[in-house]
């Protein structure tokens, strides 16, 4: 994973707070729930989503690296970037991921 868990947690908290500030979150607090418990659960859900997305991204990148390793010659520079992007989009499409 390219980001530490601490950074992902801070992103999740900030995203939650920005969405809440803009009244873009729809939720109901449980009756009698302690203050902050609902927020923590929502931040955790956002955190889990981001971590899962980063895990999928890493898996895609590893698959693309395997494909590029099968080429008979060494691919460098811009050509490698173009082929990497092309194969990544193709693999993601086959898996039903949205890029």
Residue-wise pLDDT tens digits, 3-54: 899 999 999 999 999 999 998 887 777 777 776 788 898 999 999 999 999 9
Flag whether pLDDT at 1 surpasses 70.
Answer: no
Q: Around Cβ 64, how many Cβ atoms within 10 Å?
A: 20
Task: Specify the pTM.
Answer: 0.78
Please tell me the distance from the alpha carbon of residue 72 to that of residue 84, in angstroms, as a whole number.
Answer: 15
Check whether 99 has a pLDDT greater than 70: no
Angle at 79 between CA 77 and CA 84, to 5 degrees: 100
pLDDT value of residue 34: 76
Q: Which of 45, 62, 59 is nearest to 8 (CA)?
A: 45
C-beta separation of 3 from 54 below 8 A: yes
Give SS3 for 31. Answer: coil
């Amino acid at each position: 994973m390219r980001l530490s868990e601490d950074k992902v947690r801070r992103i999740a908290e900030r995203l939650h707070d920005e969405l809440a500030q803009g009244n873009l979150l729809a939720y109901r607090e449980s009756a009698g729930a302690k203050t902050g418990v609902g927020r923590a659960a929502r931040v955790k859900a956002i955190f889990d989503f981001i971590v899962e997305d980063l895990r999928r991204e890493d898996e895609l990148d590893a698959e693309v690296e395997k494909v590029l390793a099968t080429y008979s010659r060494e691919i460098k520079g811009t050509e490698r970037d173009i082929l990497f992007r092309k194969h990544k989009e193709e693999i993601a499409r086959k898996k039903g991921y949205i890029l």
